[in-house]
Every structure is written in C-alpha cells, then in structure tokens.
Structure 1
Amino acid sequence: MSTLLAEIERFYDAVPRRRADAEDHGALTLFIRRGDGWPYYARPTLGARGAVSAEDVAAVRARQRQLSIPEAFEWVLETTPGLDAAAEAAGLHVRRCPLLVLRGEPVPAALPEDIALSIVAAHDPDLAAVQAVAHVAFGALSTATGPAGPAERDAAAATLPAGLAAAWHASLIEGAMVHAAARGRGGALTGPLCVGSYQHALDVAEIVGVGTLPAARRRGLAAAVTATLARHALNAGMRTVFLSAQNDDVARVYERVGFRRVATACIAEPPEPAERAEDLAP
C-alpha cells in the first residue's frame, strides 16, 4: 500500500469515531452513529490482515439489519482487494468510483457575474436552504440539467428532519465540517444553488456532498465550490485533500480543479428492487 493510501485509510477510520461507536467484526469494523445525523457504514478494520470473506460481509449485514441501519460498506479497492468480490457474493451491489487527490494548488473556476461564493457560517440566514440544495441535487436521477430549482429547494428546506438539521448545524459550530455555497444574486436562480463540504482528521480533508440544483447545472458551480473548499482546507493546514467522484464524467470536473485519480473508492449496498427483479428474471 502506498504512503498516500495508508494516510487516507487512517483518515477513513478516524472520521466516524467522533460520532459513532465502533464494533469489530473480524476484518470489518461497523460504525454505529450516536444521536441524529446521517448513518455510517462498515469498512475494513484498520491494520487487519487477511481477506474479507462473503461470510464476513453477511454477518455484518445481519447486524446492520438488527440495528435498523443501512446495509452499507465503503472501502478503497486498491487497499482492500477482493472485498468487491466478497460483497457481490454476499448479495450486494458494488459501485466503483474514481478517487482523486489534489495535486498542487486548486484551479479557481470562472463564474457568471450573478453568482457569489462563500464559506457557510453557523449563523447563515439561508442555512436550511443551503442544506436543502443537497437533498434536491442528489434526489435527481442523473447529473444532467433539469427543472428542479429554487422552488423545490425551498420546499425541501421546509421539511428537513429536525434531527438532521440540528446535526448539520452542530457540525458547523464544532468545525467538524466546513461547508461552501454558490448563490444566485437575483433573477430566476436566486439563493443557494450549489453546495459542498469537507470533513477532516489527521491533517487530511475529504470533500463530500458537492451538489447543484438541476436548474443551475452546466454553469461551473460545482467546480467553483470544490476549488473554494480545497483552498480553505489548504489554508487550514491540511496536507492532503481528496474526494470521490460519482463517475468518470464527474471526475473530469474535479480534474479541471487540479485533482488527479489515484485509486478507486467502492460503495456496496443492497441492489435496488428493479435490479433484483432483473437478476431473478428468466
């Protein structure tokens, strides 16, 4: 394993321990979130030797079902080779995503004059709308432009679960997460349009959750938010800044900012009902 991937592996183990209890299941560690907020996942135990088997994955899945938490696993393919095959043998669907690391300085993105970029503060009056952007952005089935815009964002903001909103606000106050937003200054696309965040530990930062309202896509907002977060992380003393891209098309957006592919991030979850039906079809 390279020094860089070993550093990222230590980061992946450290981050959830702030807000989760860790259960050891042999070659896998299950992180169980304390309190409200997005649930965590299982991942390879730091420093464990030996292959992860399909039986190991099945045992953790049973524990996740017992706890009524998502059956989710995350890992780096090059660090834990063979876990993808074990997860698939245990009945999970594995997504393989480009993992990229910032090389050098982030490249600022040109933006339309009606867009403002900023780091989000805990007292931001648009806090609910900023958080709702991600819900709308990731609720779209693709990364293409679409009709969902400020109206859908504001509707989502009005129905945010209280626990998730409180956990997000607490992360801002504690500094555990740093959030950035691109906002429209006026016209049809007003207010928060694109958001992103980074989490950090051990002088390593991972940029996560970069999403743009479908109606505001193809304007360079995601690249601009990513560059802003990367610059903030470097200024805060982070020595490594990395992220995972949804697919190759999204990876190319990050490459324009200065990120380079170094590995493959894997996410394993139960297949969607349609996928299961296809598998059962004669």
Structure 2
Amino acid sequence: MDLRIQRSVVANLRNRPNPVETGPFVLGLDLSTDSPHINYATPVPGAEITATDVRDLVAAFDGRKPRLEYVISCAPTLEKLLLDADFTVESRNEYLICTPDTLAVPSVPEGFEVFAPKSDEEFAGMIAAQNDAFGGGFRSTPADVERYRRNRSAGGVMIAARTADGEFAGGGTAVAPNEGLSEVAGIAVRERFRRQGLAGAITAAITAELFAGGAEVAWLEASGDDSWRVYERVGFRPSGQRLYISK
C-alpha cells in the first residue's frame, strides 16, 4: 500500500496548475497561493536521490518555503539528505486507509446539513469555515473558490456542512482518484460545532462519494487522538507512515 499511496501523491502533484519536475522530485506548485501546505514536493518512488538533487529541489522552490511530504518507506535515504541540507522534521504521521468493505456511514447530526456545494457562495462559505476551524479566521478568496472548483472539475469531491439556518460549520475535500486511490483532506469543523458527529459525517460522505465514483481506496492522516477516533469509527484503519519536512 505504501507504494500505491506514494505513486498517487506523485500523480496528484503533477496535476497541479504549475508543476515542476526536478531530478527525482515532483514539485506541485499552484501560483495562486503561497501556502506551503499546497506548494510542496515529493520524491518519485524508487528513484536514486543525491545531495545535488536536494540542492536543485531547494532552488526550484524559487523563494517559496521548501517543503516535502512523502511515504517514508518509499525513499528511506531521503530524510538524512534533507537533514544534512538544514531541513527540519515537522511531523511523522500514520496514514489510514478505508475501502468499500470497511466504510461505515453515520447519520448526519440533527440540525445540520451535509451536502456538495455548487454555487460560489457555498464554496466560499465552506472554505471560510475550514479556515476558521484551522485557526485562520473566517475568510475565503476568489482564488480559493477557483481552486476548489478546479479540483471538483478534475474529479475531486467537496462536502460542506451547515446549520438549518444556513451557517457554515465545516467541510472537507478529496482529490480525484489516481490508480484507484484518493486522499481525503481538510476535514474541519468550527470549534463551537465540534463533538456532535459532524467530522465523521463529512468524512464518510466524501468517502462514500469516492467509492460511488469507482475509487478503490480512500486515505487520510489523523492530526491527533480525537481525529484518529473519528476516522476509525467511519472505517479507516492505520496502514503506514508519512514524513512532513521543511527548510
């Protein structure tokens, strides 16, 4: 599974609006944003990597924060090369996978709607709720909306949550499947709407839509024990480790 996950990450980054390939790395750039969580690199699994390749990768970021995300087992010698080049480990996360056989779809909590946004206003509300949940304030930009629309047009999935009176509470996304796999990401619920079952409902709705479209495996990462329990309840199981590292 590690190899399939890493190959799917490479394919996803190659589909960014402004991808760069340098040596054994793919750098997935989207020039509409400076976010290092969107503009990052990953190694092509199985490729030989040298210190010169790492230096060339840093230069390819062209002033942006050099950052990588990858499945550790697919590039076992890379971490030392990056540390030698003054990179710092951000985190090591276990990723979890879900298949149609393990998915468990819970009921949507009373008083909420979980749905696929269609209008610019709905996309903006969902993005603002995600930003607020992650500590960035309740805001969104036209560039954010366009990025989400582009993802959906490419086959990605967007699911939002709002209250009965229309207040946006959170949301989540998934990229278009590659090699039968898709990453579920950005699962977020604003603080005052948490612990009511919304995160699980959003995650399950995204995953169910992926499987309905033919995906074989959905995968994601948990940021802590609380989110880990949420994802396990809807059918995700631990499978491997990924590294987040930046300079």
What range describes the TM-score normalised by the shorter chain of this pair? 0.7 to 0.9
Matched, 1:209 2:186: yes
SS at match of 2:215: coil
Partner SS state of residue 241, structure 1:
strand
Q: State which structure, 1 or 2, has the greater radius of gyration over its C-alpha atoms.
A: 1
Corresponding residue to 2:19 among 2, 18, 21: 21
Letter in 2 for 1:31: G
Change (3 A) 1:47 1:81: closer
Counterpart contact for 1:98–1:247, Cα < 8 Å: no
**What residue identity is the alignment partner of 1:212?**
V
CA distance in 1, matches of 2:211, 2:145: 27
Is 1:31 matched up with 2:7? no
Aligned to 1:171: 151
Within 5 Å, give how 1:103-142 maps onto structure 2.
103=99, 104-121=101-118, 123=119, 125-139=121-135
Kindly state the Cα deviation for residue 105 of structure 1 after the two structures are TM-superposed.
3.6
Q: What's the offset of the Cα at 1:86? A: 3.0
Distance 2:52 2:46 in 1: 20
The offset of 1:175, in angstroms, is: 3.8
Q: CA deviation at 1:45?
A: 2.1
Residue 198 of structure 1 contacts residue 205 of structure 1 at CA under 8 Å; is this kept in 2?
yes
Equivalent residue, structure 2, for 1:70: 65
How far did residue 100 of structure 1 move? Answer: 0.6
Match of 1:85 among 67, 70, 80: 80
Which residue in the other structure is 2:6 paired with? Answer: 9
| Amino acid of the structure 2 residue aligned with 1:199 | V
Pairwise CA RMSD of aligned residues? 2.3
- 1:242 and 1:249, CA in 2 relative to 1: closer, same or farther beyond 3 A? same
Give how far 1:44 is off.
Answer: 0.9
> Which amino acid is 1:114 matched to?
G
- Count of residues paired in the alignment: 240
Q: TM-score, normalised by structure 1?
A: 0.76
Question: Residues 129-168 of structure 1 correspond to what in structure 2 (within 5 A)?
Answer: 129-139=125-135, 153=138, 156-157=139-140, 160=141, 162-168=142-148
Counterpart code for 1:193: A
In structure 1, list runs of 5 or more residues that go unmatched.
141-151, 271-282
Where does residue 162 of structure 2 map in the other structure?
183
Deviation at 1:55, TM superposition (A): 5.3
Match of 1:279 in 2: none
CA distance in 1, matches of 2:107, 2:7: 35
User: Letter of the aligned partner of 2:187 in structure 1?
Assistant: V
User: Is this contact kept in 2: 1:134–1:195, CA < 8 A?
Assistant: yes
C-alpha contact 1:98 1:251 (8 A) present in aligned 2: no
Q: 1:69–1:177: structure 2 CA closer, same or farther, 3 Å change rule? A: farther
Of 93, 96, 110 in structure 2, the residue corresponding to residue 97 of structure 1 is 93
Q: What's the secondary structure of 1:139's corresponding residue?
A: coil
TM-score by length of 2: 0.86
Match of 1:277 in 2: none
How far is 1:54 from its partner? 5.3
Q: For the residues of structure 1 that align with 2:27 and 2:109, how far apart are their CA atoms?
A: 44
- Given that 1:72 and 1:269 are in contact with CA atoms closer than 8 Å, whether structure 2 keeps it comes out as yes
Q: CA deviation at 1:14?
A: 1.0
What's 2:174 paired with?
198
Unpaired stretches in structure 2, ≥5 consecutive residues: none
Whole-Å Cα distance in 2 between the matches of residues 258 and 10 of structure 1?
Answer: 23
Structure 2 CA distance for partners of 1:220 and 1:244, relative to 1, 3 Å = same
Deviation at 1:124, TM superposition (A): 5.8
Q: Which amino acid aligns with 2:70?
A: W
- Residue by residue over 1:8-65, the C-alpha shift from the partner in whole angstroms, topping out at 9 and shown as x without a partner, is 222111112222333222x3333333x525642121124414xx4555434422332x
Structure 1 pair 21/86, CA: closer, same or farther in 2 (3 Å)?
A: same
The residue matched to 1:107 in structure 2 has which SS?
coil
Distance of aligned partners of 1:253 and 1:93 in 2 relative to their CA distance in 1, 3 Å threshold:
farther
Residue 113 to residue 265, structure 1, CA distance change in 2 (3 Å): same
Q: In structure 2, how many angstroms separate the alpha carbons of the residues matched to 1:249 and 1:56? A: 38
Residue 113 of structure 1: how far off its partner (Å): 1.2
